[in-house]
Amino acid sequence: METNKIFENIADNLNLGTVTAPVQRVSGGYMHKMYRLETSRGKFAVKLLNPVIMTRPDVFENYAAAESLEKKLQGNGIPVVPALSFGGKKMQRVNNQYYYVFEWVNAKALSSEEITREHCGIMGAVLARIHKIEQKNEDYNGDEININWDTYIKSAESECPKIVDILKANRDILYKSQTQGNAALKNIPKLAVISNGDMDCKNVLWIDRKPLIIDLECLNYGNPYMELFDLALCWSGYEHCKLDYKLLSSFVQSYIKAYGPFEINWDDLYYANFGRLAWLEYNIKRALMIECENEEEKQLGIGQVFETMEHVIYYDSLKAELPGRLNEIAQRV
């Protein structure tokens, strides 16, 4: 179905009025596609869900769980932009395309140059508030990762030569990170909280100094300390391979003040923070046309392989300093 026809059908099916302006693609995540839809009844954001993702087992169960947790965040005053409900349902479908609709928000995500210690302090406190809503003594630390990188390297030699060299050159780092991460997972305290899973800088919009969290489809339960570690890095420059320890300190200390003190081994958290390997595998599959439906997806996958590998290499370089610095930061609260 042509894109314009999709949005005409969406507006018609949900009684959103008539489309009054050209539909605009909005920059956003790397998995789904977001558009701005302007109609006679207002402005909306429409997220078209990746068709390949929607074929995965348990995908509808996972989205339903995320929608339920989204309501809990709303009920506890967490600043989120929730999906709209139509006919008692948030997820909608037109032909074979699943999607969500949101009210359009005149706000913007921050670039890395715009993030200050104040922003990090605000987000550290928000994360702590989310984690305090509900806590369970259960193991949601995640599964071990056992990826056969050699198989992908061999396939890439014929199917996608562009990514072969960077995978070969860093093969040892990939296997080492995987092995050390699997071992560290066993040492992380077993505690489950509501976890956003994707609350990095691109998924938080700002109006003045007030945040609005978007892209809540990854909501689930997870380990609070692992998510704290991951998001503190994201908000402190890790995404651009330039970690700012002042930003990191603001995020972590604000979280501890709002959440309360806890005991954790930061070395274990460092090694257990290896989820980027799963993201790398997903994009290798897209580059190899294994989990991909068109050339645009393939090229996106190739680009993400290089970007993710840059993060893997940079992260490996931090192991001598990062855990110790985090321990010092936590002790100063």
Distance from C-alpha of 187 to C-alpha of 23, rounded to nearest angstrom:
49
**CATH class of the domain comprising 112-331:** alpha beta
d(CA 199, CA 216): 8
Architecture of domain 3-106: 2-Layer Sandwich (3.30)
DSSP 222: E
In the prediction, which pLDDT does 31 show?
78
How far, CA to CA in Å, does 68 sit from each of 56, 62, 64, 108?
A: 20, 10, 6, 26
Estimate the share of the chain in helix, then strand, then coil, as percent rounded to the nearest 5.
50, 15, 35
pLDDT in tens, 59-113: 999 999 999 999 999 999 999 999 999 999 999 999 889 999 999 999 999 999 9
CA distance 286 to 301: 5
- What is the Cβ-side half-sphere exposure of residue 70, based on CA atoms within 13 angstroms? 21
Task: Let me know: does 54 contact 98? Beta carbons within 8 Å.
Answer: yes
Q: Is the pTM of this model over 0.85?
A: yes
pLDDT for the residue numbered 169: 98
Candidates 140, 113, 97, 84; CA nearest to 6 is 97
Task: List all residues 6 or more positions away from 12 whose beta carbon is below 8 Å from its beta carbon.
Answer: none
- Whole-angstrom distance, CA of residue 314 vs CA of residue 319: 10
Residues linked to residue 195 through DSSP beta bridges, in sequence order: 220
What kind and span of H or E run contains 192?
strand 192-195
For residue range 306-333, list pLDDT tens digits in order: 999 999 999 999 999 999 999 999 999 8
Q: Which residues make Cβ contacts (< 8 Å) with residue 169, sequence separation at least 6?
A: none
- Chunked in runs of 10, what are the mean pLDDT values of the chain (333 residues)? 79 95 82 93 96 92 96 97 96 94 95 96 98 94 94 97 98 97 95 90 94 94 96 95 97 98 96 94 95 86 96 96 97 90
Distance CA 192, CA 184 (A): 17
Helix ranges, the chain (H): 3-13, 59-75, 117-133, 149-159, 164-169, 171-185, 224-234, 245-259, 266-272, 276-287, 295-317, 322-331
Q: Would you state the pLDDT for residue 1?
A: 42
- Sorted by where each begins, the domain ranges of the chain are 3-106, 112-331
